[in-house]
């Protein structure tokens, strides 16, 4: 499979009479864009606000991030979700780089939502502070889950995808600034020079813990809780096969933007043919019952061994219960003779003194840490809030609280906040963006 991603770099975003891209300037016709958003009758309120790096802006509750794209030759950006099923990862796709569509609740948040600061101390915690963000601020009539701590956010998430497709369409007839090419020969038809290199497989564990449909990540529109480990071409992940769900404390999650730009996949591509033979991706899952976890680990190990893998990288989306899947998978691979490195964050408590993962094993002796979900973060007030700041304390965001006997409420009267890293939107960047690690003293 050969995927060509044509990149259009966005220098600035403005509102204008048309949605267009010229000389690095993305112009958005807000009225047209909002019509696309409001195609879903469940959307009761919607606005679009632009937030740029350096702005004195705090955004909360953030639910999703998507890179605007266009599939050259036609077809949806997200097959099986925003349109008919079709193969991802082969052909040409145009991408607007340096920007994202952020889906933000007008009022109501939940356990899975997060916060972004566009400047100041908080900006260093999340990749999205460095992007120009097209914030879709919206509300719905989905009263059945308004006061639920865990929300599916379906209408809002789908509205964000429609908006990303609409904006991406403006570059359909243009020539990109540069083109990234991702191509792998079939596993059994590679040259001797490549086959003589160490064979490496990337094992991804997207969030799929919820047995009720609607919360989990999707693969071609299929709920990942209903799948068994599956061999996929890495191009499929980069080209819209994977959609972020609405579950998992926010610092640990992979947004759809992360799937579209997955750094670990791109890094393995960079080494392919030089230091490694990048075999491809085993898309696994995260389960609830112990038997399910063991079954998935056995499938992953068998698949990796059958593909001839010498080494593997395993990355989990989440922590806590998923740690059991993560460690079981590493152990099964090691038992199969596949040298394995893990990629995850940790939950070591606010003081950093707790056990980092729920379960551990001596065979999991090479783990890259992306940070501590429980780290306390104190941030001063921001001049502007997009969304509603009260949601951090009121709505059960995983790193916020209404009151604490020692720390008081997360949101102070002056607009300053104290929260756990848990609430920082994709803050631990487990996809491979992370600049953080843990230090042993």
pLDDT for 100-133, tens place per residue?
999 999 999 999 999 999 999 999 999 999 999 9
Kind of pairing between the strands at 339-346 and 311-316 = parallel
Residue 17 pLDDT: 97
Which tens digit of pLDDT belongs to each residue from 155-187? 999 999 999 999 999 999 999 999 999 999 999
DSSP string, 305-366: HHTT-SEEEEEES--SHHHHHHHHHHHHHHHTT-EEEEEEEE---TTS-S-SSSS--TT---
- CA neighbor of 432 nearest in space, from 286, 315, 300: 315
pLDDT at 436: 79
pLDDT: is 309 or 248 the higher one? 309
How far apart are alpha carbons 57 and 379 in whole angstroms?
Answer: 12
Q: Cβ(46)–Cβ(37) under 8 Å?
A: yes
Nearest-angstrom CA–CA distance, 373 and 125: 11
The torsion region of residue 23 among left (phi > 0), alpha (psi -120 to 50) and beta comes to left
Asked whether the predicted pLDDT for residue 380 surpasses 70, the reply is yes
pLDDT at 439 over 80: no
pLDDT of 344 reads 95
Question: Taking Cα atoms as reference points, which of 239, 114, 237 lies closest to residue 168?
Answer: 239
Distances, alpha carbon 372 to alpha carbons 125, 259, 263, 284, 421, in Å: 12, 22, 20, 24, 7
Measured distance CA(400)–CA(112) in Å, rounded = 11
Q: How confident is the model at residue 145 (pLDDT cuts 50, 70, 90)?
A: confident
For the stretch 232-291, pLDDT in tens is 999 999 999 999 999 888 999 999 999 999 999 999 999 999 999 999 999 999 998 999
DSSP-derived letter for residue 79 is: B
What's the Cα-to-Cα distance from 139 to each of 44, 68, 114, 123, 388, rounded to whole Å? 6, 21, 16, 26, 12
Task: Provide φ and ψ at 215, rounded to 5°.
Answer: -100, -30
More confident residue, 371 or 46: 46
């Amino acid at each position: 499979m050969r995927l060509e991603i044509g990149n259009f770099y966005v220098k600035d975003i403005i509102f204008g009479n048309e949605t267009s891209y010229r000389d690095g300037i993305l112009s958005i016709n807000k009225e047209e864009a909002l019509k696309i958003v409001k195609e879903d009758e469940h959307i009761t309120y919607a606005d679009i606000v632009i937030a740029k790096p350096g702005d004195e802006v705090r955004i909360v509750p953030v639910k999703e991030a998507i890179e605007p794209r266009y599939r050259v030759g036609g077809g949806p950006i997200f097959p099986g979700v925003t349109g008919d099923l079709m193969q991802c990862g082969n052909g040409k796709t145009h991408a607007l780089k340096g920007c994202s569509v952020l889906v933000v609740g007008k009022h109501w948040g939940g356990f899975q939502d997060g916060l972004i600061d566009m400047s100041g101390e908080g900006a260093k915690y999340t990749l999205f502070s460095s992007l120009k963000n097209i914030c879709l601020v919206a509300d719905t009539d989905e009263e059945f889950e308004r006061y639920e701590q865990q929300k599916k956010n379906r209408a809002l998430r789908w509205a964000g995808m429609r908006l990303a497709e609409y904006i991406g369409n403006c570059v359909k007839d243009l020539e990109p600034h540069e083109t990234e090419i991702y191509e792998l020969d079939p596993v059994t038809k590679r040259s001797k020079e490549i086959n003589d290199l160490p064979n490496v497989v990337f094992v991804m564990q997207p969030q799929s813990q919820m047995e009720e449909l609607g919360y989990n990540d999707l693969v071609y529109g299929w709920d990942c809780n209903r799948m068994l480990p599956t061999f996929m071409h890495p191009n499929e992940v980069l080209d819209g096969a994977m959609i972020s769900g609405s579950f998992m404390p926010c610092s640990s999650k992979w947004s759809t933007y992360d799937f579209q730009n997955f750094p670990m996949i791109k890094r393995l591509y960079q080494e392919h043919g030089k230091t490694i033979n990048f075999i491809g991706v085993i898309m696994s899952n995260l389960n609830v019952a112990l038997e399910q976890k063991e079954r998935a680990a056995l499938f992953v190990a068998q698949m990796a061994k059958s593909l001839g893998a010498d080494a593997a990288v395993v990355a989990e989306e989440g922590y806590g219960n998923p740690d059991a899947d993560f460690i079981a998978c590493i152990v099964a691979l090691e038992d199969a003779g596949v040298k394995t490195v893990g990629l995850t964050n940790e939950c070591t408590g606010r003081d950093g003194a707790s056990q980092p993962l729920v379960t551990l094993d001596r065979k999991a002796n090479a783990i890259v840490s992306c940070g501590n979900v429980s780290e306390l973060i104190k941030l001063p007030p921001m001049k502007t809030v997009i969304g509603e700041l009260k949601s951090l304390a009121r709505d059960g965001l995983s790193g916020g609280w209404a009151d604490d006997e020692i720390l008081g409420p997360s949101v102070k009267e002056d607009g300053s906040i104290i929260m756990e890293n848990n609430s920082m939107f994709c803050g631990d960047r487990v996809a491979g963006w992370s600049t953080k690690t843990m230090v042993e003293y």
